[in-house]
Each structure stands twice: as structure tokens, then as C-alpha cells.
Copies of this chain bind each other. A is one copy, B any other.
Amino acid sequence: MEKDKLDPWGTSSIKDYSRLQSEFGIQPVGPLLTRFKKPSPHLSRGIDFGQRDLARVIDAVDGNKPYAVMSGIKPDGVFHLGNKMTADDMIYFQSLSKKSTVFYAIADVEAYADNGLSFNESSKTALRNVADILALGLDPDQAVVYKQSEEMRVMRLATIFSRGVTNNMLKAIYGERQIGLYMSALVQAGDILMPQLPDFGGPKPVLVPVGADQDPHIRLTRDLAGRYGSEFGFLPPSAIYHRLELSLTGGQKMSKRVPESGFTLDDTPAEAAKRVKVAFTGGRDTVEEQRRLGGRADICPVYDLYRFHFAKDDEHVERVYYECTEGIRLCGECKQEAIGLVKTFLEQHHKKREAMMGDAKELLAKSRSYLSSTGKE
């Protein structure tokens, strides 16, 4: 069996999530589940499968102590299902306490460097992306949104870190890469550690919700937090890892880089429906066979749509799984139901997002004035 590979810039293949524990030191979420009064769907459905130092964040929740949740987006025009996964986690962990603060980075410098998007274009997309997360449930009163192009603190940290890492350390984590990717990794480390700067109240637990493929960034940042611990007092950031969703085309992983592999929150309900309609499934070759052997939900991206996003509740997920694997439910009807859920979700989301545009503008303006005022001598 091939070794699992975690590549934040490629297509990761993760066949056995439990092996991530022994190989990379990611801890299981299971033993901590009892500490959540009301676990999120990601937790109760085993989508969030792994963690590092998550207990530190739960302790902060229980002790009514400040903590941060850090995430971000590259405003390259789409908010895809993977972004939604991370946003769902971010919003859930924000909601656990009045003492939490979400730090949300708009990676417009990277969008410019990688995609040639001007800051003006990015600005428009960023506004819509912020409306996206507000529509998904972000509390704007406990959130700071910043643009990389305006946040010198992140760049300063990246520069400092660039002196502390060696090429060998980066190679060990990422393999041999071009300098631009290394630099973007250091900038992300700056993003993750910024909430612990004195300007923001100093050292505190910081949770980063990520896909399993992003673990190399977490390892690098935890290493840097240690190296600069005596200087800045950084705590190593905590992380929670979600499973990677299966591609609608039947490949390994849903990816922004392969549009047909999923859809985005910007797609029209009709466009999304079309993608689901032609999706790969875990169905058998013939109806007879499927009735007899049952479908293979575990390799089915349509089942993942239910489980990861659109099922009404946990019971609904279980029912779909049961009906599929017992051969009660066939792929055609299953897709029809999924399409209905996806359409309803997108219609509602588009309405909510439209209604949130004003709030998004306000959150960006409020954040900007807060960020430019804090830490100024």
C-alpha cells in the first residue's frame, strides 16, 4: 500500500485516516467528544476526525478564557465546498464562547501573485466571501477580517520566521519546493500566530480548522511557535482536521483546482444540480446487483454531499447510509433527493448572502479601523 501523502499544494491521497495518527502525530477527536455539550455535525458524524491540542481550546471555553479561531480564503472568485467545510468549523468553534475571536484572512496578495487578480477585483470577491461566512452563521461581533495587502504584522512575522527556518526544515515538511511556496507557508504561519501578538492581547489558544492535507502548515507553525516561544510567548496553535470530501468525478479528493470535482456557493442551483446529476456514485453495475449487494456509500461522493453538508440531521445521514448499503435506495432517486437539498440550500444561501452584503461591508470597515488603531505607539 502506498504511503499517505499530505500535500497542501497538490492532490493528497488519504486512504487511512487512522494512520495519520501514527505517522504525523495527529490525535483522534473521539476521546474529547464528551466535552462538547452540543457537538457540531462535523464532530458527531466523524468528519472532524483529528486534532492537535484541541483540549487547550475546550479548556478556554470551559474556563471562560479568551481564544481565537483562525482561518482565511484566497479571494480568487469562488467559495467552494471545501471553504464551506472550514467555515462551518470556524463558526461552530466561535459559537462556543463569548470570549472567542475569529481572525479571517483575505489572502489578496497571494491571489494577486498566483492568479493575477488586482486588489480591486479581490476586494469585490472578498466582500462576497465575507457575506458568505456571515450567511453561514459567523457572528460579526466576535470577528476580525483583514486583507494580507494591508496587514504588515503578518509580513513582519513571515520575515522573522524566514530567518529562523532552514531549507532542510522546510524540505523535511514540504519536500523540495519553489521558494514562492515556502514563502507562502511562512506567511500562513504569520497569519496563524498573529492573534497571539501583544496588539491582540498576547498569547492565547488559537484553533485552526483545516483539511487533513493542510497539516504540513500546522506542523511548521507549531515548530515556529516553539522556536519563537521565548521571544513572543507563543502557544503552539491547536488544529482540528476534517476529512477530505470525495470528488464528484470519482477521483480522490474534491478540489478547487478541478471545478468538475464539486461546486461552489456561487454556482446557480441549476449548475450545481447538473454536476450532481452526472456525478460518480458508489452504485453497482446493474439494479439487480445493487438490490442484492447494496451500494458502496463509503466511496460515493453523493453520499458525502449528505454527510458533509446537506442532510437535515444526523438521523438523515444514517438513514441514507443504511438504505444505500442495504440496496433499498438506488442511485437515481438518491441523486434526485440530493439535488433537491442542494438546490434549496443554494437558493436560501444566495438570499441570505444578498441580505448580508451590508453587514459584510460593515465588518470589513470595522475590522480595518480596529486593526489600524491597535498596537500603534
**A interface, CB within 8 angstroms of B:** 109-110, 112-114, 120, 149-150, 152, 155-156, 158-160, 162-167, 170, 176, 178-180, 182-184, 186-187, 377
Contact = CB atoms under 8 A, between A and B. Distances in A.
A11 B15 CA distance: 52
A110 B155 contact: no
Contact of A179 (B110, B114, B179): B179
Contacts of A159: 109-110, 112-113, 183-184, 187
A179 B156 contact: no
Contacts of A184: 159, 162
A164 B183 CA distance: 12
Contacts of A114: 163
B182 A377 contact: no
A377 B120 contact: yes
A183 B180 contact: no
B150 A163 contact: no
A265 B152 CA distance: 31
A331 to B, nearest CB: 43
Contacts of A166: 178-179
Most buried by B among A152, A155, A164: A155
A144 B179 CA distance: 31
A235 B324 CA distance: 64
B120 A162 contact: no
Contacts of A160: 109, 112-113
A184 B164 CA distance: 13
A170 B184 CA distance: 17
Nearest to A372: B372
